[in-house]
Structure 1
Amino acid sequence: MSTRRLLAEPRARRYLTGQTLSLLGDSAMWLACGIWVKELTGSDGAAGLTFLFFTAPALLAPLAGLLVDRMPRRRLLMVANLAGAVVLLPLLAVHGPDQVPLIYAVMLLYGCLHLVVEPAQSALLTTLLPADLLADANALLRTVRESLRLLAPLAGAGLYAVLGGAAVAVLDMATFLGAAALLLTLRGPDPVPARPERTGGVLRHWAGEAAAGFRHLARHPLLRRVVLATTVLALVLGFGESTGYAVVDRGLHRPPEFLGVFQAAQGLGALLGGLVSAAAVRRYGEVRVGASAFLAWSIGTACAATPLLGVVLAGRVVSGAGLTVMVIALVTLLQRSTPDHLQGRVYAGFEVTTSVPQTVSIGLGAYLIGVLDYRAVLCAEAAVAAVAALLLLRATRFVVPPADAASGTGSGTAGAGHDGGHDDRARAGARSPAGAAPSARP
């Protein structure tokens, strides 16, 4: 019923259509860039570094979050999408190994845009939908995003194999422009968040404003522990940017283009995870569902260490489901725990606390894959992910049911979140404050 209500909102439908267009191009572009670098250099590590350059600007996220909390979100997203089309233009000049730095430079700029687009999308969604539809929107948007992995990786790899990387870049440019055009059709208010009065010196004031998201995460008893568990997982999550190529090449003895099938299997799992995640969160709570998702990622990663194609692909399905459910659960928890005027900065702060260790893990993974057996790297990733799942599960004791959280002030309270079906109070008085939406771009 909630999904029907969501799709009955005209502006929500346009927004979802725009994101679907944009994500179709993005999913194809991501895989094409990795394959492109792999074929130009012959190096698994060099291919994995494409994602390293994307995540490198993560330390600037607090400034991006502050920008989102100070500007009209719809207008900001339109400008970002138009800029995305321009950023891709240098890829048209890549013809050989000497131009690989151009691919890295584009991914770096892509990462800068991502820092603005992610929190802006989260904040914009709160103006498009009533608060009680946000949790379902999280699941639906993430499902749309991940379900494209069933088509876009194969299409991207196929388009790259036939026409080359430049053709995939042109496709992504077109989807950026299409998304910007659909944002233009979203009628209605595009409010600018209220600005607090300036206190102290200019530098001190803006530094304090930029750090507000981190302060909220640090002072919130539950979010503080969730950040710890997620950071532990992020310390190995980036290994997959290099191990994926090694699994296809060394383990399965397939050409690099087979990574499209590999990614499509993860997309299938993501689709399945997205379909059940909203109901699971409502019944069991964000923290328990998130811990289960961490464990699913661990199991799926371990499966990739075998030389059996069926087991590897099954593991990718499990990993895809785990990743999607993980994001939906954590984003919903952020929604319930953060006041509206901090949404951009809290989202950005959470992005930093996870992206920085993930960036380190990408570089570390690219190094380890060159000196260790890829199976040892996969087993290490699986073990650390299991530890992160246990850490997150321990955080359930700090969960406050919605009935209690609703008695606080503002859109979020110190103990917001819910404990699922194991607490009678969590079945009544549920409250879903406005907050962040799941990322619609990678």
Structure 2
Amino acid sequence: MSTGAGRNTAPTAVGTNRDVLRVPGFRRLALAWVFSNFGDSVLFLTAAIWVKQLTGSDAAAGLVFAALGLPALLAPFTGRLADRNRRRPLLILTNLAAGGVVLTLLAVRGAGSVWLVYGVIFLYAICSYITAAAQSGLLRDLLEIRLLAPANGVLSSIDQGLRIVSPLVGAGMLALWGMDTVVLLASGCFIVAALVLATLTLAETVHVRAEDETFWKSTTAGISFLRGHPLLRRALLSLGIALGATGILNVTVFATVEQGLGRPPEFLSVLLGVQGGTAILGGLAASGVIRRLGLRRCMVSGVLLLAGGVLATALTVLPLILAGAAAVGAGVSLLVIAFVTLRQEATPLDMQGRTAAVTQVMTNLPQVAASLLAAVLIGVLPYQVLVAAMGAACLLAAVPLLPRRTGTPVRAAGPGRVE
């Protein structure tokens, strides 16, 4: 088994954002992440708006998001794919495939061919799951363990920033020049990402399949590992509960704006802008917080910030609601980055893709389920009741992360202290 360049050292402290940006390979990976994420973000929301224009149906537009979420069910298989192949070539081919698949949207010319939109979104969403799974292992091969936290923080900040900018760009292009220009831009972004990744050089870990390993055992190994790891099992439960609660927020925030503040729905963009801005700052600050508090306490801090932020949305005072939106953005960033770093440090190199895939399922499906439940309940319950339930769920999410008095404490295999 070959060894990646960054794994021979035994660091004693979490690195900084500046440290990780000094690594040429990471700078290339981050640049590819900018292009692939921009292509992803500019397309999916614009596609929903486009389907609404073509059909006049809200339900038809909503099916775009359903097509985007369905590949989560295939995550164990995409994770296995990322663990059983060299990850850099896989990322290159996946981005090229995404760029090609997206071009199929140029054939859509009316409501009768909207089915093609759903198929394309489904396929390119599979590509995004493969990309996320492969990138987790690539980071472990590329970086010292002490640089994982700042690397995850930088990539998260890029992601959050593009989520603010890309949909605006896509919607503007759709209004001015039509959907074909958005399709060409998204396809070009994926192709450029592949070209950038082609210039990345690193020593990748070679994974050898065990003789007694069956396909099913290999596919579900990520689930088995996370379930059997004392700290990761509890941390994943906390993550699922907390992010599931934010699915309720996606529904109640409209009532917060219209009923709580008495403002038009368009004011939601202000709250989302504040939340996105602090999510970016939270990503950039995450490595420093982890360095001072350790991974577990960073996750607890993120959960508590999230709980305070969502409870603030039940209020009617604008400054407090804005502060709550800021707390939600920062809290989610700290929670997710600390968990991802813990998972990367504790997971064996040949299982990075599969545990990453399980994480994606546990973060996406609870959100979707909670949003659907809240959409039903908000018609019969005051939104403040749902907000209170959401805040209670966030506080409950901190319980699995609390230190236990008995047994030997579990520590991650790296500098991101768990205590």
TM-score by length of structure 1 reads 0.79
Alpha-carbon RMSD = 3.4
Q: CA deviation at 1:239?
A: 3.2
Letter in 1 for 2:216: A
From 147, 154, 160, give the equivalent of 2:161. 147
Change (3 A) 1:61 1:165: same
Structure 2 unmatched ranges of 5 or more: 1-14
Instruction: Tell me the distance in 2 between the aligned counterparts of 1:381 and 1:46.
Output: 29
Pair 1:55-2:69 in alignment: yes
Letter in 2 for 1:263: L
Change (3 A) 1:40 1:308: farther
Equivalent residue number for residue 285 of structure 1: 294
Instruction: Tell me the distance in 2 between the aligned counterparts of 1:142 and 1:396.
Output: 34
Change (3 A) 1:294 1:129: same
Greater Cα offset, 17-26 or 49-58 = 49-58
Q: CA deviation at 1:230?
A: 2.1
Equivalent residue number for residue 389 of structure 2: 380
Pair 1:138-2:190 in alignment: no
Equivalent residue number for residue 129 of structure 1: 143
From 275, 283, 286, give the equivalent of 1:274. 283
Equivalent residue number for residue 28 of structure 2: 14
Instruction: Tell me the distance in 2 between the aligned counterparts of 1:39 and 1:298.
Output: 37
Q: CA deviation at 1:233?
A: 2.5
Instruction: Tell me the distance in 2 between the aligned counterparts of 1:396 and 1:265.
Output: 39
Equivalent residue number for residue 82 of structure 2: 68
Counterpart contact for 1:70–1:193, Cα < 8 Å:
yes
Instruction: Tell me the distance in 1 between the aligned counterparts of 2:206 and 2:36.
Output: 25
Change (3 A) 1:354 1:5: closer
Q: CA deviation at 1:272?
A: 1.4
Pair 1:222-2:231 in alignment: yes
Letter in 1 for 2:68: F
Greater Cα offset, 32-41 or 270-279 = 32-41
Instruction: Tell me the distance in 1 between the aligned counterparts of 2:286 and 2:406.
Output: 22
Letter in 2 for 1:179: A
Equivalent residue number for residue 353 of structure 1: 362
Summarize deviations over 1:350-391 as a string: whole Å, max 9, x none: 333333333322433444455555554444333322221333
Instruction: Tell me the distance in 2 between the aligned counterparts of 1:221 and 1:185.
Output: 39
Counterpart contact for 1:59–1:356, Cα < 8 Å:
no
Instruction: Tell me the distance in 2 between the aligned counterparts of 1:74 and 1:260.
Output: 37
Letter in 2 for 1:298: A
Change (3 A) 1:397 1:42: farther
Share of identical aligned residues, percent?
40
Counterpart contact for 1:293–1:322, Cα < 8 Å:
yes
Change (3 A) 1:146 1:197: same
Equivalent residue number for residue 312 of structure 2: 303
Instruction: Tell me the distance in 2 between the aligned counterparts of 1:244 and 1:94.
Output: 34
- Any idea what SS the aligned residue of 1:71 has? coil
Change (3 A) 1:117 1:399: farther
Equivalent residue number for residue 10 of structure 2: none
Q: How many residues align?
A: 404
Q: Aligned ranges for residues 32-431 of structure 1 at < 5 Å? A: 32-36=46-50, 50-92=64-106, 101-198=115-212, 205-243=214-252, 253-254=263-264, 260-306=269-315, 311-369=320-378, 372=381, 374-393=383-402, 400=409, 418-420=417-419
Letter in 2 for 1:143: S
Equivalent residue number for residue 3 of structure 2: none
Letter in 2 for 1:418: R
Counterpart contact for 1:45–1:242, Cα < 8 Å:
no
Q: CA deviation at 1:290?
A: 1.0
Instruction: Tell me the distance in 2 between the aligned counterparts of 1:356 and 1:301.
Output: 20
